[in-house]
Amino acid sequence: MLFPGMPGVITGAAIMLALWLLIHFKTKKVPKGIGFDFDARNESGAFEKLLPLYVDFAKFVLGLATGSIVLLVGSSALHTAGHLPKPYASPLFLLVISIGCGILCMMWLVTDYEAYRHDPTGNAYTRLKYMRNQLLGYSSVFCFLTGYVWLIVNVTA
């Protein structure tokens, strides 16, 4: 094992790989040169109403994950050794992966929507971008939940 949190990093990568495969096979294929539609039923601007909901949900998960990390790392001063026990490293890495995926998801979702709104051909939002945004959003949530469960198991063991 390279470092104490390596199982958490491997678990995060496995979650992302499993989700990528699921999203890849569930996402409809479109002909080359045709983009995905952000707006439901071609209603211009429909996604603008939903975008704040997605961003708020991501901010909620990020707030819980960062708060947990700060609380745990801050409590390390209370331990006799002055640092957290090694079993906490893996779930903390999953929480960090969750934060990274959430930030990237929000950034690319907004950037992709902006590009979609400014592209007169409607081809800016490709299948790959759609799958990437789904992957990052779901990975953020699943890594957060897995990290939290793992943390609870380690704390109560």
pLDDT at 22 over 90: yes
Average pLDDT (103-107) is 95
Q: How confident is the model at residue 75 (pLDDT cuts 50, 70, 90)?
A: confident
Domain ranges of the chain: 6-26+47-156
pLDDT at 77 over 70: no
Q: Give the rounded percent of residues in the chain with a pLDDT score beyond 90.
A: 52
Mean of all residue pLDDT scores within the chain = 88
Q: How confident is the model at residue 107 (pLDDT cuts 50, 70, 90)?
A: very high
For residues 7 and 42, which has the higher predicted lDDT (pLDDT)? 7
pLDDT number for residue 2 = 87
| Helix (H), strand (E), coil (C) string for the chain | CCCCCHHHHHHHHHHHHHHHHHHHHHCCCCCCCCCCCCCHHHCCCHHHHHHHHHHHHHHHHHHHHHHHHHHHHHHHHHCCCCCCCHHHHHHHHHHHHHHHHHHHHHHHHHHHHHHHHHCCCCCCCCHHHHHHHHHHHHHHHHHHHHHHHHHHHHHHC
pTM: 0.87
37-74 pLDDT tens trace: 887 777 777 888 888 899 999 999 999 999 888 887 77
Average pLDDT (69-81) is 74
